[in-house]
Amino acid sequence: MNRRTMIESPKGGVSIKGLRPTNMIVTIDGPAGSGKTTVAHSLARHLGLDSLDTGAMYRSVALLTIEAGVSPEDHESVVALACDHRIDFDWDVTPPRILLDGRDVDDRLRQSDVSEIVSRIAGIPMLRDAMVEAQRAIAARHPRLVTEGRDQGSVVFPDAEVRFYLDADSGVRAKRRAGEMRDRGEDCDVEKIRRAIEARDRSDRGRKDAPLTIPVGAIRIDTGEMSIEEVVNLLIRHVEAWCDSKPGSES
């Protein structure tokens, strides 16, 4: 009997249920604007896995920092804030929404004051250690997980079953970011965004702690010319191929 059950996805694609092992971590790494978050949520929905947006965890700490009036350079106070507050996800909704001490801050986290300081927050080594630990604890509770963030396959889950690295030219990524900002009713200048993205890429690739890198064994996909749906379908095919390659899989 074929253990694979094809199910209709909400977007009309198909996904597999039943064939995957109980534990299955899929990681999606890549630079800002490569489409990681949207793709991760959609892939998870299609495959019936949970999804984790790790950038939202760093953004929550950035929000705490803003609300407490603490400087992002005051590393000790930032880490203390992160330890003193509870960062959770509401897993009952899809995609999961982030809760700060029970307060739904998901929309607030995308605003520009948070975006402006979050990369400095994410560069604090002690905070990264705490986040890595928290992410592994989440994976222990949600062992069928698509997790995205720039260090998920390279640092946090180097043994993940399937590892992806999404990439795109900085001009394409800037246009995507601008589109998101316009959708939120914010003003934007694409060229300025492109320069900021390139500066962030340089600092992310050069940073000492968890630099942005292509994880060993990752499948690299240039999403520049692809729609989100095409990227998701391609990733589904790779995950299916991995499932089929496992001993005991049936076709």
Among residues 61, 98, 122, 181, the one that binds ligand DC under rule CB under 6 A: 122
Report helix, strand or coil for 175.
helix
Nearest to 26 by CA among 43, 8, 46, 11: 43
Bond into 72 cis (ω within 30): no
**Which positions ≥6 away from 55 have C-beta within 8 Å?**
36, 37, 118, 148, 149
Q: Does 118 bind ligand DC (CB under 6 A)?
A: yes
What is the total count of residues that contact ligand DC (CB under 6 A)? 12
Phi-psi region of 31 (alpha: psi -120 to 50; beta: other; left: phi over 0): beta
CA distances (Å), origin 86, targets 53, 59, 140: 16, 13, 18
Q: How far is the CB of 114 from ligand DC (least distance, A)?
A: 9
Stretch that binds ligand DC, among 7-15, 40-48, 53-61, 79-87 (CB under 6 A): 53-61
Residue 95: HSE in the Cβ half-sphere, 13 Å Cα cutoff: 21
Q: Does 32 bind ligand DC (CB under 6 A)?
A: yes
Q: How far is the CB of 5 from ligand DC (least distance, A)?
A: 32
**What is the biggest distance separating any 2 CA atoms in the chain, rounded to whole angstroms?**
61
Q: Does 41 bind ligand DC (CB under 6 A)?
A: no
Q: Which is nearer to ligand DC, 15 or 119 (CB)?
A: 119
Torsion of CA 104, 105, 106, 107, to 10 degrees: 120
Q: Which is nearer to ligand DC, 9 or 108 (CB)?
A: 108
Among residues 151, 166, 193, 233, the one that binds ligand DC under rule CB under 6 A: 151
Q: Does 54 bind ligand DC (CB under 6 A)?
A: yes
**Helices marked H in 88-185 — which ranges?**
112-122, 125-141, 170-183
Q: Which is nearer to ligand DC, 122 or 221 (CB)?
A: 122
Q: How far is the CB of 29 from ligand DC (least distance, A)?
A: 8
Stretch that binds ligand DC, among 5-13, 76-84, 145-153, 230-238 (CB under 6 A): 145-153
Q: Does 106 bind ligand DC (CB under 6 A)?
A: no
- Binding residues (CB under 6 A) for ligand DC: these are 32, 54-55, 58-59, 118-119, 122, 149-152
